[in-house]
Amino acid sequence: MSLTKVTREQAQELYNAITKYDNFLFFFYYKEVTAILAHTSRKLQYEMIQISDVGRYITILCEKLKASYPRSATRPIELLASSDADQIVRDLFGDDLNGIILI
């Protein structure tokens, strides 16, 4: 096998992995989820934070994630961070995200 053939095969495998639907969603929505987590993390580092605040911040985070990323949904209901991923998905699939047949 020549290096060129090996390189082409590796490139094809990488392309196939990146373009899988689940991976596609992960790449774009990961940024949104990490922005939400970073915001909560900053709150938890406030100098004057109290124990009751920690529980409240974590509960609020949990409820936001449950509301936006329900287990039964194939994609997030509404993104809470910068919504960059929302715009990318709209650019690719249009405004009617409810009409998309997801695999």
Dihedral (CA of 67, 79, 37, 69) sign? positive
User: Has residue 81 got a pLDDT over 80?
Assistant: no
> With a threshold of 0.85, does the pTM exceed it?
no
Question: What pLDDT is recorded for position 98?
Answer: 55
